[in-house]
Amino acid sequence: MNPKPADTADAESARIKEYFIAERGYWRPWTETMLQACPGFVEQYARYAGYPARTGPLTERMVELIYVALDSSSSHLFESGLQTHMKRALEVGATQADIFDVLHLVAVQGAVNACQAADILAEFTGADEAAVVDGELRARIEALGAAHALSLAAVARMDPGYADVLLDFIEQGRPGTGLSPGERSLVQLALHACFTAFNPDAIRRIVPVALSQGLAPAELLQAIQLGSHLAVHGTALGANVFRQVTEQRAGPTSTRR
């Protein structure tokens, strides 16, 4: 006996749900709403979003730490995703020091943009072009600036005190142990390549540093790719609101004005 169309649809929905969970590791109300409205989206999103993690050379630990950075970034602040990926990162071998090293890099992200804006200010005002940067400060900038995509020349001329405390934060604000230099480059590349805070200048600074640390282009590409599907969080918001609106419209007390 051939299955009824309803039975076939239910079986297909169950297959897609199982596939999604296997690829993405979660199932939420928004995915259930999307499954009912557009099952093809759910299946193809799982394939697309899971592809970098499934096929790239980075370890599962590193992939999850990058997701922790992207979801906790002030340009995204996606708490439910952060909970999912932080839990998973710890399960696959990340340490507390790893997590807080990532969170330190998340905090440094904003300073990169501030330094770039200072460069533009100096360009238009000629501010302190004749200022001489202290030799010790210049050496610290050369040692740390490139590794954190920081353009500190203008800042150091206009406000050396700010450059000094920023470098102190970079040097002393992270855990004593944690990520390797190459791993920090991967996290920073992901943060600056993500569409939520895309920063081409920072990417151009980080990539040569990462390559000099021995990272392979495929590793850098995977770090870049991991951020693209975060755009689905807008879809998740829309699906949740659609569900709420339709439930309100269908409710016994709903009225039209």
Residues 13-47: tens digit of each pLDDT: 999 999 999 998 899 999 999 999 999 999 999 99
Residue 60 lies in a domain: no
Task: Please state the pTM of the whole predicted model.
Answer: 0.90
Eight-state DSSP code of residue 223: H
Place of tokens 């940067």: 133
8 Å CB contact between 75 and 196: yes
Backbone angles phi, psi at 50, to 5 degrees: -80, -15
Over the stretch 157-207, which tens digit does the pLDDT of each residue have? 899 999 999 999 999 999 988 999 999 999 999 999 999 999 999 999 999
Residue 146 lies in a domain: no
Residue 38 lies in a domain: yes
pLDDT at residue 69 in the model: 98
Per the structure, the complete domain to which residue 243 belongs is given by 1-55+232-251
Residue 143 lies in a domain: no
pLDDT at residue 256 in the model: 45
- pLDDT exceeds cutoff 80 at 235: yes
Place of tokens 């999307």: 34
Residues 6 or more apart whose Cβ sits within 8 Å of residue 175:
96, 97, 100, 101, 104
pLDDT at residue 3 in the model: 53
Over the stretch 131-156, which tens digit does the pLDDT of each residue have? 778 888 989 898 888 899 999 989 99
Task: Collapse the DSSP code of 70 into the 3-class scheme (helix H, G, I; strand E, B; otherwise coil) and give the result.
Answer: helix
Residue 43 lies in a domain: yes
Residue 40 lies in a domain: yes
8 Å CB contact between 216 and 186: no
Residue 19 lies in a domain: yes
Give the helix ranges, DSSP H, for the chain.
5-24, 29-37, 39-55, 60-72, 79-91, 96-125, 135-144, 153-158, 160-172, 181-193, 200-212, 217-225, 232-250
Q: How many domains does the chain have?
A: 1
Residue 136 lies in a domain: no
pLDDT at residue 1 in the model: 46
